[in-house]
Amino acid sequence: METATPFVPTPDDAVRWQDDRLYLLDQRVLPARIEVLAYDDAAAVAEAIRDMVVRGAPAIGVAAAYGVALAGRTAFAAAGADWKQAIEADLERLAGSRPTAVNLFWAIRRMRALIATLDAADPFATLLAEARAVHEEDRASNRRIGELGAALITAPTEIITHCNAGALATGGYGTALGVVRAAHAAGKVERVYADETRPWMQGARLTAWELMQDDIPVTLQADCAAASLMAQGRVGWVVVGADRITANGDVANKIGTYGLAVMARHHGIRFMVAAPTSTIDMGLATGAEIPIEERDPAELLGCGGNPVAPAGCAARNPVFDVTPAALVDAIVTERGVVLEPTPERMRALMG
Ligand SMILES: CSC[C@@H](O)[C@@H](O)C(=O)COP(=O)(O)O
C-alpha cells in the first residue's frame, strides 16, 4: 500500500477502482489532509478496513468485494489452477477485519457464491466485474433511498444526524446523507445538526466536511447537545444509517444512536434509519445477537494524540449500540420503506 494521487477525490470517491488497483480515500486524516492510498492485495485491504482508512457499512462491503477480486488475482498468480484453495486465507482475513457491519459478510458471501461457480481458469476479470457490480448497485440503492427518505419529510425542517452515513461511508451518495441531499434539493432541509460522534469524530471530520462541500447548511454540535436542541422544537427528524438491522427491525449503528432515538421519542421527533437491504441480517432475530465491536480504549483516552483522561484510567469503548425497533419510525431501503418495523413487516420487505 502506498500514498498515491492519480485523481482528485471527492466524497463520492472514497472507494475507487482505477488502473487495476483499489484506491481508498484515507478517512483517518480527513479533513486536514486529502490523501488517497493504493492497494494491490487483500491483506492490506483487510488492514485498511480494521484501521478505518475506509469505514461505514456499505463502503466496507464494497472495499471487501474489491479485496476478494485482488485475492483472486494473487491466488491465481501463486497457485494457478489451485487458486480456490489459495484464496481462502485472504477471504478469512477480510471477514475478520471488523465484526458489526453485516455488509462486509454480505459482500464476501456474494463473492463466494460466484467463486463456487468458477473453474480453474484465472478468476480475476470475473471477480472484478462482480465487485464493480456491488459498487454500482450500492450507488444506485443510495439514490433510491434518498428519494424515498426525502418523500417522508413532508415540510421544511431541521435534521439531526449522527456519525457519517454519507458518500464517504458508502459506494457513493450516502444513505442518511443521501436522504439529506435529496431532501435539500427539494427545499426541505433548513439545517443539519451533525453530532461530533466521540471518540472517532466521524460527524465533525467527515459529515461536516461532506455537507459543506454540497453547500448544505450544517452546524456541528457535541453529542451531549442533542437533547437541548430537540427541546427547542425545530427538529423534525433524526436521520441515521445502520451497520446491521435484524429480522425484527432492531438497528445497530454508531454508539450514541440509541440515546438519540430515546430522546427523539421523548420530544415527539421522528426517527429514520436509511440503509440498503445489504445491511439487513434476517439471520438474526433481534439486536441482542449482533456482535458489537469494542475498539482500543486509547481512542477514548486521547484526542488527536493528546491525553484527555488521567493516565491509567479504565475506559470502555463499544463503538456501536442497538436501537430497539420500537423507537424507529421508518427504515428506508432501496426496496421500499418499513414504517414502525415489526418482524412481519421486515419479512414482507425482504421476501
Ligand atoms: C452508511 S454508513 C452507516 C453506518 O455504517 C454508520 O452510521 C456507522 O456507524 C459507521 O461506523 P464506523 O465505525 O465509522 O464504520
User: For 265-272, what is the mean pLDDT?
Assistant: 98
> Is the beta carbon of 301 within 6 A of some atom in ligand 1?
no
pLDDT score of 298 more than 80: yes
The bridge status of strand 235-240 relative to strand 157-161 is parallel
Model confidence at 9, pLDDT cuts 50, 70, 90, reads confident
Instruction: Give 260's strand partners.
Output: none
For residue 184, list its beta bridge partners.
none
* Beta-carbon contacts of residue 10 (< 8 Å; ≥ 6 apart): 167, 213
- Mean pLDDT throughout 83-89? 98
Residue 104 and residue 56 in contact, taking contact as beta carbons nearer than 8 Å? no
What's residue 147's pLDDT?
98
Q: Which atom of ligand 1 is nearest to the CA of 166?
A: 1
- What's the gap in Å between 291 CA and the centre of ligand 1? 15
In the chain the first and final C-alpha atoms are separated, in Å, by 41
- pLDDT score of 304: 75
H or E element in which residue 348 lies? helix 343-350
Minimum mean pLDDT range among 26-40, 109-123, 292-306, 327-341: 292-306
* C-alpha cell read off for 323: 436501537
Q: What is the mean pLDDT of residues 300-310?
A: 89
254 lines ligand 1 (CB under 6 A): yes
What is the b/e burial string over 217-229, where b = at least 16 CB atoms within 10 angstroms of the residue's CB? ebebbeeeebeeb
Nearest-atom index, ligand 1, CA of 101: 5
Q: What angle do CA 79, 80, 81 make, to 5 degrees?
A: 110
Which atom from ligand 1 is nearest to the alpha carbon of 240?
Answer: 7
Residue 7 pLDDT: 78
pLDDT (mean) for 19-23: 96
Q: Is 101 in the pocket of ligand 1 (CB under 6 A)?
A: yes
Give mean pLDDT, residues 293-305.
90
Residues classed as catalytic: 243
- pLDDT at residue 312 in the model: 92
pLDDT for res 2: 65
Beta bridge partner(s), residue 289? none
Residue 305 pLDDT = 79
Tens digit of pLDDT for each residue in 210-230?
Answer: 999 999 999 999 999 999 999
The answer on pLDDT for 246 being more than 90 is yes
The verdict on whether residue 84 carries a ligand-binding annotation is: no
Spatial CA neighbour of 72 closest among 122, 139, 145, 18: 122
Strands 320-323 and 251-254: antiparallel
Mean pLDDT of the chain: 97
Q: Which residue of 24, 50, 51, 55 sits with most ligand 1 atoms within 8 Å of its CB, as the best mutation to test the pocket?
A: 55
The residue nearest atom 9 of ligand 1, judged by CA position, is 254
pLDDT score of 8 more than 90: no
Q: How far is CA 176 from CA 28, 82, 113, 170, 267, in A?
A: 21, 43, 30, 10, 21
Q: How confident is the model at residue 106 (pLDDT cuts 50, 70, 90)?
A: very high
pLDDT band of residue 303 (cuts 50, 70, 90) is confident
Under the banding of pLDDT at 50, 70 and 90, the label for residue 327 is very high
More confident residue, 176 or 11: 176
- Is 270 part of any known ligand binding site? no
Q: Has 155 been labeled as part of a binding site?
A: no
Within 10 angstroms of residue 109's Cβ, the number of other Cβ atoms is 11
Q: What pLDDT is stored for residue 56 in this prediction?
A: 98
C-alpha 254 – ligand 1 centre gap (Å):
6
Q: All domains of the chain, ordered by start, with CATH? A: 2-139 (1.20.120.420), 145-350 (3.40.50.10470)
How much is the average pLDDT of 108-131? 98
Q: Is 226 annotated as ligand-binding? A: no
pLDDT of residue 1: 63
Cα(171) to ligand 1 centroid in Å equals 13
Residues 143-175 have pLDDT tens digits of 999 999 999 999 999 999 999 999 999 999 999
ipTM: 0.99
Average pLDDT, integer, range 99-107: 98
98 is in an annotated binding site: yes
- Any atom of ligand 1 within 6 Å of the Cβ of 58: yes
Instruction: Flag whether pLDDT at 4 surpasses 70.
Output: no
pLDDT in tens, 171-207: 999 999 999 999 999 999 999 999 999 999 999 999 9
Residue in 98, 164, 258 to alter for ligand 1 test, most ligand atoms within 8 A of Cβ: 164
